[in-house]
Structures are given as structure tokens and as C-alpha cells.
Structure 1
Amino acid sequence: MDLENFSLLFFIVSMVKCDALENSKIDCYQIFQQQQKPLITYEIENRGFHRIFSINVEIKSLDNDLLNSNCKFLIVQKLDRNIYVDEFELKQPSHNQNFLFYLNKKVNIEAVEYRSESFYLFLILKNNIITCDPITKVCNLNLKFPFHLRYHAPTRDENIKSKDAFTSFKISNPRLLVSNCDQELIKQRNYIFSTTDRFGIDLVKNIYIEECSWNEIECEYSLKNIEIKVPIGKQDYEQIIMTITLGFLIFLAIKVSCFIREKSLSIV
């Protein structure tokens, strides 16, 4: 066989192979249209101002397509202005080995509640947290991330007792998107995660970028819109605390000045 014929044969075989691979490529979104809705269970762990958000997604696969696929999963979580997440904390090895994260805006971790606004947290799940049972054909995605409650201004309502001085807000349900995109996710970041007009009342149901397509999956929830209470204190207690603090500082200043004076006299 001469070189020209060999090159032609190689080209034909390559094209056939590429077509076969393209046709065998699994459509992740289509898989979810043919099976039960995923069940999302989420809960808030710990008490106080430092909490843990725990999410579990249970996917019951009717066939092995999902088990054998390279589907990528994205959790979209809207967080209220009463909450903040620390980017430095999320980058720690205990968390970033499970997911990549992006925020649609810069979050000021020192701002008080009434000077803050809600934001979106995007969690791209890594394959190591996805566990599948080939016998039961059930897959589970588990992840946790820390969040913190913001400081609230004390109430001035005289009808509220100090023990009842709380405010409350609800946690939005996590949303699940899926893709079989082969592109590096970092290349999509500017388009998906930095385009604020995509995050109005509802997140866009379908995001298409060049050869990549992200689709939102309709899910069921074991519990919806968890409510969190935040202690806010009372205005009258704030005045008492300020008075006590000021008095203590004056007392401390007098003690320090007396100590310095005694030391100086002893030296003389």
C-alpha cells in the first residue's frame, strides 16, 4: 500500500471513530428526563453564629448510563443577606477537595446585616464525592460548607422581652444543574458565574456556551425553606453594656495611672 492510500485509509478510520465517539456521548440532561426526580435533603448543623450547610442529593438511576458517565454537577445556592461565607475558609483543603466554588459578587464578611445583600454561591462538585451503588443503581452526592450569621442591630421594641429578641429568615432550596461539558470549567466562569443579569428572581433554566450546555434538573425536596433564628438583643441592654464598659475603662485607666505614679516615686 502506497503512502497516499494509507493516508486516505487512516483519515477514513479516524472520521468513523470520531463519529462513533460523538454518537456514543451520553446526554446527561436526557438521562434525568427518563428517571425519577433526584431527592435533595439539606440541613443546618451546629448552633450559634457559625453553622454548617449539609446537602445530599440522591439520584436513582434506571440504567447504567449515569453510573458510567462523566456528567458534571453544579449546586446553585442563594444565600440571604443575613448570611456570609468566607472565601478563605472555603479554599481550605477540608472543603476544596470536594468542590470548586464561585460567588456572583464580592462578599464583605465584616458588614452588618442591614448593609449587606443576598448573593449566589456556585458549587461545582468533584467526582470523588459522588458515590454510586451498581446493584441498587443509586448515586449520592454529599457536600458540606461553612457559613456564618451576620450581626443584627438591636431592637427598640419595648413589647419584646430580651429572651424573645430574635429575627428569622429562610434558607432557599438548593438547585441542581447538570452538564456533560468537556471544556475546562474555568473557561466558562466569566460567562456563567459573573453575569449578574442571569440571577434575577429565577436562575436561567438552560445555559449554553459554545459546545457546553448546563441544564437545571427538576428535583424533589425532603424539606423546604429551613428557617433560622438569629438573636438580636435589645436597645436598652446596649446602653447598659456601653455604660458598664465605659465605667470599666475609666477604672482601668485610673489604676494604671496610679501604678505608674507609684513606680516613679519608688525610683526617686
Structure 2
Amino acid sequence: MSTTVESLFVIFLLVFFEISLSLQLPTLQRKLLKDGFHRDIQTIVEIPLSLFTQREGMKCRCLYKEFLPSSSYVDTFQLKSVSKHLGFDYVSPTLDIEKPEYQENTFSIFSILIYTDLHVNSDRVISNVTFPIHLRYHLPATDYRNFSIMNPGVLIQCNNADYIGEIMRTEQIPCTPKEDILCEWNVIKYKSDVNDIRVEVPVGNTNHTVLVVIGTLTVTFGSCLWIVYKVLNTKIKQS
């Protein structure tokens, strides 16, 4: 009987410990803002202040590893102009923003680094970043095209505090985008309601092909006749 009680007690402690760890995990929230081909991705990370050894005057930064599929891209010139205003810095490959999706490698995943600060707010440390993305043009179809943007990797680096939450691994990454000095960044475990963002891309409807072709030819032919009429009418008046 005592063995059974001890086993139940151990199971209870394990469950309690697991729930306690789950409640302490950082949380990630993701939203896709705006409509059409020009969108914004908002990412909010909240980390319990109790997961840091130093709580007064702590200085920590957050780094997002974003992975964009070939159906989307970021405009580096746009990022350069808006990043300071939106409170982040970045490292991004130079991409051909004019290339449509069907000319891009379907299996390409583009990695973008987003640097930002962590701010203490009451009992939590928060990072809130919004950056613009764009959708590539797709071939016509009978319905919307869909693709997914996976959740980012979240890394933190502190100068005067230690993170005591669950660390998946450490990576050597430049301290800032403007220098080659490497810092040790901790890849932290977090919880999120979603694993990715589903994106619908507006495309031309192939069911409307005949209507579009007839309409285009009619407008073009009518415009040509109108131009010829105006030219001939002008010459007759001048003569």
C-alpha cells in the first residue's frame, strides 16, 4: 500500500513540475496585418521576469530568426527606411523582388535576422516587432493560393543577467548587424497558440479567362477604331 502511495506522490510531483514549467515558458503571439500583396507581420514575445537572475537594470536583446518561403519576400530598401522608426535592425539577403513565385525555387527558404531590445513591463519582459513583407505574384488558378510562414526562432542575449529558463541550444551570431564580433545567443523554448501563419494570395481566376480575353479584345479594338476615327476626322477638317 505504501508503495502505491509513494508512486502516486511521485506522479503528482512530476505533473506539478511539468505544469509549473509550462506556466513559466515564454509566450509568442503572431499576427498577419493588412490585406493584398503588402502585409505586416507582428511578433510579440513575453518572458516572465522570474526567468532572469538580475531583475533591476537588466539589459537584454532579442533576435528573431525568420524563415520566409519563396512565395514571399522582404524589400531590403524598405526595411532600411522603416527599421529605425519601428525599433529594430536586421540582416537580410538581397532578393530579386520582381521575380514571380513560379520563377523562384519552390523549396527556397530565406532566413532573415531581426534584432530588437527586450523591455521590462511589470512582471514580464516584452519584445514587440512589426516588419513588412510582400507576396510574390502567382500563376492564375481557380481559387486563392495558400502558403505558410513558420514561427521564428527566438534567441536572447543579456549583458548583466542570466536566463534560467529552458535553453534549447546556444549559437554564435554577430552581436549587431554592423559588426563581425560574435555574441553567444541562447535559443529559448517558448509556447505559441499556432505553429505558423496561413497566408492567402490573391490570384487571377482561370474561370474568367474567356471573359477577360473577350473584354480586352473588345476594348482594344474599340479604342483603335476611335483613334482612327479621330485622326481621319481631324485630317478632313484641316483639308
Residues 211 and 224 of structure 1: CA distance in aligned 2, closer, same or farther (over 3 Å): closer
Aligned-CA RMSD value: 2.7
Contact 2:170–2:184 at 8 Å: present in 1 too? Answer: no
**Per-residue deviation at 1:205?**
4.9
Residues 205 and 257 of structure 1: CA distance in aligned 2, closer, same or farther (over 3 Å): farther
CA distance in 1, matches of 2:101, 2:75: 15
Whichever residue aligns with residue 167 of structure 1, its letter is R
**Per-residue deviation at 1:68?**
2.2
**What does residue 113 of structure 2 align with?**
122
Taking only the aligned residue pairs, the percentage that are identical comes to 24
Does residue 106 (structure 1) correspond to residue 94 (structure 2)? The answer is yes
Residues 249 and 119 of structure 1: CA distance in aligned 2, closer, same or farther (over 3 Å): same
Unaligned runs of 5+ residues in structure 1 are: 1-34, 156-161, 182-203
Contact 2:62–2:127 at 8 Å: present in 1 too? Answer: no
**What does residue 131 of structure 2 align with?**
145
CA distance in 2, matches of 1:208, 1:79: 19
Quick one: which of 159, 162, 172 aligns to 1:207? 172
CA distance in 2, matches of 1:60, 1:175: 18
CA distance in 2, matches of 1:249, 1:66: 70
**Per-residue deviation at 1:236?**
4.3
Does residue 42 (structure 1) correspond to residue 42 (structure 2)? The answer is no
Contact 1:64–1:137 at 8 Å: present in 2 too? Answer: no
Partner deviation per Cα, 1:26-75 (whole Å, 9 max, x = no partner): xxxxxxxxx93321111112222222211101011115625523322211
| SS of 1:171 mapped into structure 2 | strand
Larger mean CA deviation between 62-71 and 166-175 belongs to 62-71
Partner deviation per Cα, 1:233-261 (whole Å, 9 max, x = no partner): 43342343133213312211221121122
CA distance in 2, matches of 1:211, 1:99: 19
| SS of 2:219 mapped into structure 1 | helix
CA distance in 2, matches of 1:101, 1:64: 28
**What does residue 85 of structure 1 align with?**
74
* TM-score normalised over the length of structure 2: 0.72
**Per-residue deviation at 1:180?**
4.1
CA distance in 2, matches of 1:66, 1:169: 41
Whichever residue aligns with residue 80 of structure 1, its letter is P
**What does residue 4 of structure 2 align with?**
none
**What does residue 120 of structure 2 align with?**
132
Residues 217 and 231 of structure 1: CA distance in aligned 2, closer, same or farther (over 3 Å): same
CA distance in 2, matches of 1:208, 1:171: 23
* Mapping of residues 1-268 of structure 1, within 5 Å: 36-62=24-50, 65=54, 68-93=57-82, 95-97=83-85, 98-103=87-92, 105-116=93-104, 117-125=108-116, 127=117, 130-133=118-121, 136-155=122-141, 162=142, 165-180=143-158, 205-207=170-172, 212-268=183-239
CA distance in 1, matches of 2:157, 2:213: 55
Contact 1:37–1:59 at 8 Å: present in 2 too? Answer: yes
* TM-score normalised over the length of structure 1: 0.65
Residues 67 and 267 of structure 1: CA distance in aligned 2, closer, same or farther (over 3 Å): farther
Contact 1:131–1:139 at 8 Å: present in 2 too? Answer: yes
Residues 66 and 154 of structure 1: CA distance in aligned 2, closer, same or farther (over 3 Å): farther
**Per-residue deviation at 1:208?**
5.8
CA distance in 2, matches of 1:45, 1:67: 35
CA distance in 1, matches of 2:157, 2:110: 23
Count of matched residue positions in the alignment of Structure 1 and Structure 2: 199
Residues 228 and 47 of structure 1: CA distance in aligned 2, closer, same or farther (over 3 Å): same
Contact 1:180–1:212 at 8 Å: present in 2 too? Answer: no
